[in-house]
Amino acid sequence: MALVIAHDIYDWYRDLMDNKSDPRVNGWFMMSSPMPTFFLCVFYAYFSKSLGPKLMAKRKAMDLRNILVWYNLFQTVFSAWIFYEYLMSGWWGDYNLKCQPVDYSNSPKALRMASICWWYYISKFTEFFDTLFFILRKKTQHVSTLHVIHHGCMPFSVWLGLKFAPGGHSTFFALLNSFVHIVMYFYYMIAAMGPQYQKYIWWKKYLTTFQMVQFVAIFSHQFQLLFRECDYPKGFMVWIGLHGVMFLFLFSDFYKTKYTQVAQKVKAVTANGHVKAEPKEHLTNGKPMSNGTTVYANGGSNKGACMPVLDDECESSLITNGHLMKNGIYSNGFANGSDHILKEGVISSNEAILNPDTSSSSLHQRKVK
């Protein structure tokens, strides 16, 4: 019985790969089978959360600033080229936002669209270097679950779209995503160039909102096909739409953790640097606990806080690794390794250091009044 079921599954798989997929892409690199992509994604997750941090545990953090500048420049240009190709392959005047079937022909424009879909797929692997660089710099607190999910599932999802529907309605997702990555990697490039350039990226705080608007646009564009007839595979429409919903909730959680919860924690800090416990909170050796768990912007349960896509350094909040120093008192004017200098441990509640929108580099060696 088991052999019969296994045989049926194999026959279904072969029929899917050989007869249901787009024959134009079958001979392209990494496209004959889903297994290479699947195993690369699994290895990425394993390396990111286990192997990589273990390999760096007894090694010094690497100084990769110059490499990061060039890497982010490459990603900015690469994303801009992909965005341009998606426009020229259909979205600039030819494609319909309401319904766009896949063109499976061998026309130059249809092949150009399929080709840029393949390059977009490859770009999901180049983004793995985001995580690698964090691990080599021993910034493992940035490699959150959200970060790994975001990067780890994208190559396989894009592979499925490329294999069966390289073009059409759902490429709107890739068009928007490429544009967002132009802005995102440009920000990273400027941030990596040093403190003297931080004044040019004052718009950092809007990146999270920018990402969330992207996801709303993506799932709205996809789910409109639930209410109109369109010769486009419904399965891919639902799959991409659900991606938009999932990432919207994950990024919203990051936004609340980064910008809302930090502001709430500011209320717990008095003018003389002491911590004022709120109801239901208990201080144990200076570590606030709320029913055993407290989520801070840079510590506690890492549910997307310090998401490196949007928060390069994660040093702008008061709480580091979920702990307050010396029974809630900042010692020697330093906040647990942060570069914010406090004057005699005194914190003004309206000072920029308490503002999560303020980048750490812009506050470097600035005294708080």
Q: What amino acid positions are annotated as catalytic residues?
A: 150
Hey, what are 132's tokens? 């690698």
Smallest CA-to-CA distance from 214 within 163, 258, 150 is with 150
CA distances from 73 to 46, 119, 166, 344 (A): 28, 17, 27, 41
CA distances from 338 to 316, 320, 323, 342 (A): 8, 8, 13, 10
Handedness of CA 260, 262, 264, 266 (dihedral sign): negative
Hey, what are 296's tokens? 């801070």
Hey, what are 306's tokens? 């310090």
Separation CA 338–CA 340 (nearest Å): 5
Residues 6+ apart with CB under 8 A from 2: none
Query: What is the dihedral angle through the alpha carbons of 358, 277, 343, 313, rounded to the nearest 10 degrees?
Result: -30
Burial class (CB in 10 A: 0-12, 13-18, 19+), 227: exposed
Burial class (CB in 10 A: 0-12, 13-18, 19+), 297: buried
323, β-bridge pairs: 320
Let me know: does 232 contact 101? Beta carbons within 8 Å.
yes
316-354 in b/e form (b: 16+ CB < 10 A) is bbbbbebbbbeebebeeeebbebebbbeebbbeeebebb
Handedness of CA 193, 199, 205, 209 (dihedral sign): negative
